[in-house]
Amino acid sequence: MLNWEDSLKNILIVALVVLAGVVLSGEGILAKPDQVDGFNVPEGRIPQEIKDHRYPRTYFPTTEKLGEKEMRIIALGTGMPNQSPSNVAASFLVELGNGDSFLFDMGTGSTDRLAGLEADYSRLDKVFISHLHTDHAGDVAALWVGGWIQGRYNPLHVYGPSGSSPELGTKVHIDHIRAAWAWDVTSRAGSLPHNGGEIVAHEFDFSQTAVVYQENGVRITSFPAIHIRDGSVSYRLDWEGLSFVFGGDSVPNKWFLKEAKGADVVVHEAFFTPEQWMKIAGFPYKQAYWVTTQIHTPPEGFGKLMSMVEPRMAVAYHYWNHRDIEMEIYSGIRKTYGGPLTLADDLTVINLTKEHIEVREVTINHESWPQGTSKEWDTAPRGEPATGLMSDWIRDGEIKGVNPPPKQPLD
């Protein structure tokens, strides 16, 4: 005979089985975000206002409201073109209290980190590329198509520099991405919002210090960088008296010093030392020195530059935060710089206001889902459906009756 405890257990087990059945069958489940203050957030999530700078110790994505005059900067990728599981390649996300979002670089692997943020992809439609190395632009196509499926119903806008000739500039690069992925994009036509499948290049002159974006109180300035060949730039974003500077790859240069001087959060590469690069890449000293000091900026150079820039927060990236390396990076920087410093890791997050800077890590759910597509995405116009893309003999090769029939009417 069952006692009451066993009965209760049985009831609970039955309830769980029923619940699991509902979840697994997908009945009644449509992944849709909630709208909170005009923002799409994952279903059931209610972002909280942060008072008196009392931030939780870690940042759980989409749980905090940004203040009206607050900026949130998230390092998505801080590593290298040769991959390491600890650090994917360069990308920083900047979110503003006015609802705007900007991506600076989209290096290989960075879209994986973005997915962990359970972001509203409809807002992630502007990328500013510092230069066309894969570790700074390798995931543009991944964001273009992945973001489209996950909620972007408008074109992806890619801002980037010209090169020494047209074929080395951002416009031709994007034209080739569009052409290279024609098979992909045309196969999705009709089922996804038409405009979300567009990618638009905004190429500007790499050699000028110039405003390349100005909207909604946000100004983004591009200025030249020194990195192997013509066509590398860095950026400065200004909004509500707050400033964020994103250094693409470069040796320390006069344009950076001028634009970054006294800015709030200043991100610049701090590359490996020549000795580390000899170990990592197996290069002889001469070549290692050339890479780490003539193409890049090693820790001591980063420190010296930041001593001149004097930011409210200096942020170093572009190395692997491996335990066996990072203390040398840190002590290299500290030889020449004693000011506020963050060694950015993937998913380091910085909250910035006029009064306060908070540096934390993002805690992500490694099994997080996309937050789901919105009503706007559902109703955005579709183009002509992709039909007639398959030969009859291929279609006819299906083994009929193997895949299950529909359980619900399809109209």
List interacting residues with Zn ion (CB under 5 A): 133, 135, 249
> Which residue, 96 or 140, is less far from Zn ion as judged by CB?
140
- Find the shortest distance in angstroms from Cβ 92 to Zn ion: 13
- Find the shortest distance in angstroms from Cβ 269 to Zn ion: 7
> Which residue, 135 or 264, is less far from Zn ion as judged by CB?
135
- Find the shortest distance in angstroms from Cβ 80 to Zn ion: 7
Phi, psi (rounded to 5 degrees) for 17: -65, -45
Show the tokens assigned to 165: 């000739």
- H or E segment and range at residue 204: strand 199-204
Neighbours of 218 (CB within 10 A): 17
Q: Is 350 exposed, middle or buried (0-12, 13-18, 19+ CB in 10 A)?
A: buried
> Which residue, 107 or 193, is less far from Zn ion as judged by CB?
107
Compute CA distances 286 → 53, 279, 283, 293, 295, whole Å. Answer: 48, 13, 8, 11, 13
> Which residue, 161 or 197, is less far from Zn ion as judged by CB?
161
Is residue 127 within 8 Å of residue 142, measured between CB atoms? Answer: no
Virtual CA dihedral for 376, 140, 369, 378, nearest 10 degrees? 20
- Find the shortest distance in angstroms from Cβ 90 to Zn ion: 6
- Find the shortest distance in angstroms from Cβ 109 to Zn ion: 13
> Which residue, 325 or 364, is less far from Zn ion as judged by CB?
325
- Find the shortest distance in angstroms from Cβ 161 to Zn ion: 12
For the chain, give me the number of helices (H) and strands (E)? 13, 19
- Find the shortest distance in angstroms from Cβ 32 to Zn ion: 38
- Find the shortest distance in angstroms from Cβ 132 to Zn ion: 9
> Which residue, 125 or 269, is less far from Zn ion as judged by CB?
269
Task: Look at residue 304 and give its three-state secondary structure.
Answer: helix
> Which residue, 41 or 76, is less far from Zn ion as judged by CB?
76
Q: Where are the beta strands (DSSP E) in 210-346?
A: 210-215, 218-224, 233-239, 242-246, 265-269, 313-317, 341-343
- Find the shortest distance in angstroms from Cβ 136 to Zn ion: 6
Q: Is 406 exposed, middle or buried (0-12, 13-18, 19+ CB in 10 A)?
A: exposed
Compute CA distances 384 → 144, 267, 387, whole Å. Answer: 20, 44, 8
**Chain Cα centroid distance, residue 159:** 15
* Amino acid symbol at 399: I
> Which residue, 71 or 288, is less far from Zn ion as judged by CB?
288
> Which residue, 139 or 249, is less far from Zn ion as judged by CB?
249
Residues paired with residue 352 on neighbouring β-strands, in sequence order: 71, 357
